[in-house]
A and B are shown apart, each in its own frame.
Chain A
Amino acid sequence: MRREERLRDLRATLALKRRGLARGWYRFSRNPLSVLGLAVLVLIVFAAILAPYITPYPEHANPYTNFGDASRPPSTTHFFGTDRVGRDIFSRVIFGYRFSLTIGAVVLGIGVAPGIILGLIAGYHQGTWIETVIMRITDVFLAVPPLVLALAITAMLTPNLMNQMMAIALVWWPWYARLVFALASSLRNEYFVREAELTGAGKLHIMFKEILPNCLAPVLTKMTLDMGIVILLGATLSFIGLGVQPPKPGLGTMVAEGAKRLPGEWWGTIFPALAIVVVILAFNLVGDGLRDVFAVEEV
């Protein structure tokens, strides 16, 4: 008896989730651009993961020189041409995506969760000293420009990707705290929250089970759009020499290297730059699509 009930319960719950996902996909797929963005994104992610196996010259991502092949324009053997030491730019771009995606994932992975939690707590305790303390701290961090902070931190430590990611994550969480705070503080007064309080439910339950699920939609959308911004930030840092250090194939690093040789050997800069544009655009399109998915339809 017990197992049968449990199975039925489980099956019903799963069916519900599946239907929700199907409906979400339907809404997402109404917009062809979002689907395109998703397709491109999936392609990039797979390419980045499988880089050593699918790129024509995987060894070019490591220290490598071949001056015989240097500075060749795009051709059938080198789709994006070669740089001034003879490395295949196409392969390096694919490897470069690894850095970009990592920085996005790490920054958001580290920054978003604390931001959400603090925003929830502040929102639920709206009007009390707890809110004041949390939100003023948030304000302080928000006032610091990420780029400047990253520069400052690098001035103190060695410039490398890890330190950059930490620096950016440090100033990224306040945006989420603020977003969730705004949502949570208005949700806090909804009838269903009052009802839970009146029933005697604990604060943790109310914050995480009642309020948080209603905040996820804007948070997820923002995360998707933020990926693009973070990637750009990382590329910028690499461009000015603080992020991914040569000879590693960071996209921003490659743009910097190739910039010295413009406009003659344009392929050295343009292709990495385009690669950055494409991945950011893809994230933005997916973010737009997500917004449609979560939008409440009114008929």
Chain B
Amino acid sequence: MERLLDIKNLHVGFRVFEGHLRVLNGVCLDVKEGERVGLVGETGCGKTTTVKSILRVLPMPPARIGGGEIDYNGRDILKMSRREMTALRRHELTAIFQDPLQSLNPVFTIGTQLRDIVKDSAIGRGRRLSRREVESRCLGALRETGMPDPERIMTNYPVQLSGGMRQRVCIAEALSTNANLMLADEPTTNLDVTIQDQILRKLDELVEEKGVSVVMITHSMGVVRDLTERVNIMYAGSILETGATRSLLESPKHPYTRGLMASVPKLTGEGVSEGIPGRIPSYLDPPSGCRFHPRCEHRMDVCETESPPFFDITDVHRAACYLYRGET
């Protein structure tokens, strides 16, 4: 199957007062058509920077691309012209973010915003829609996300809706452009558990139906387990482990992933582990070689000098760790 998105060895840094932050350190991530891929990592690991790099919305003066490519359907996003990028954002890529209040303009009704998006995406494809067509598409999109009474929602302002409903609106907006790749950055972190459950199920249904590829970014292993087929574990700017979600979560291989899985409180009630000793490294002066090595109890000499490449564990599971060097 074709790789829709292929991030190859991406390096991104930021220039700040204290020096140069080397954030993304050779990120490799791919998404095939119709696939749902998770990107799991903790605060500061670089997940949002990666998303912003794909969308090319990083503020370029402090940020700098230090190398690598982001291929979309074979073409490097980083080298695209502004016009190509606009077309890409209009028709191919779509995103939903953590706080719908920030994604929705508070001074316009839902209807105004949704209509704008529907019209814009149609015009981009060279079609002009009649007012009735636009309206029916908007209502359809809202109905699909499980909104009761879409006609009334169209007349509401974002602040009049609950968190869950706002996020449904964002999903409706995202899917109404018929994009091929959705980037979902912690879409349900702010929501209540039962609402989160509803929304994630609905999102799952919709992307399956429409064949949209998804990169689901989250810090929650539980969410990724239910929603993705493959998952990437990210730490300090690079992917440490990647593989089929369920099997990776049942038997994690990389010491970081293991530590992470052990830290998640379990319903079995076995107590809470002490977490992973140490702190996330500073991007100003990151550890040499494998960035996790200072915190790793299995570290070897080579871990300090050279950054490990991916080693295959099975044909659907790889880890960037010298512990698995022999397996290749």
Contact = CB atoms under 8 A, between A and B. Distances in A.
Contacts of B62: 297, 299
A26 B63 CA distance: 17
A299 B284 CA distance: 14
Nearest to B48: A299
Contacts of B63: 299
A26 B17 CA distance: 6
Contacts of B17: 23, 26-27
Contacts, number: 10
- Is the interface on chain A under 10, 10 to 19, 20 to 34, or 35 or more residues? under 10
Nearest to B283: A299
Interface residues of B, number: 6
Contact of B14 (A23, A26, A27, A299): A299
Nearest to A297: B16
Interface in B39-65: 62-63
Nearest to A298: B59
Contacts of A297: 16, 62
A289 B62 CA distance: 17
Contacts of A27: 17
A79 to B, nearest CB: 40
Contacts of B21: 299
Contacts of B14: 299
Nearest to B21: A299
Interface in A1-30: 23, 26-27
A26 to B, nearest CB: 4
Interface string A260-299: 0000000000000000000000000000000000000101
A243 B16 CA distance: 47
Interface in B3-24: 14, 16-17, 21
A299 B16 CA distance: 10
A20 to B, nearest CB: 11
Contacts of A23: 17
A168 B63 CA distance: 46
Interface in B58-107: 62-63
A202 B62 CA distance: 43
A297 B15 CA distance: 12
Interface string A50-78: 00000000000000000000000000000
Interface of A: 23, 26-27, 297, 299
Given A297-B16, A299-B14, 8 more contacts: A23-B17, A26-B17, A27-B17, A297-B62, A299-B16, A299-B21, A299-B62, A299-B63
Q: Nearest 9 pairs between A and B by C-beta?
A: A26-B17, A23-B17, A299-B14, A299-B62, A27-B17, A299-B16, A297-B16, A299-B21, A299-B63
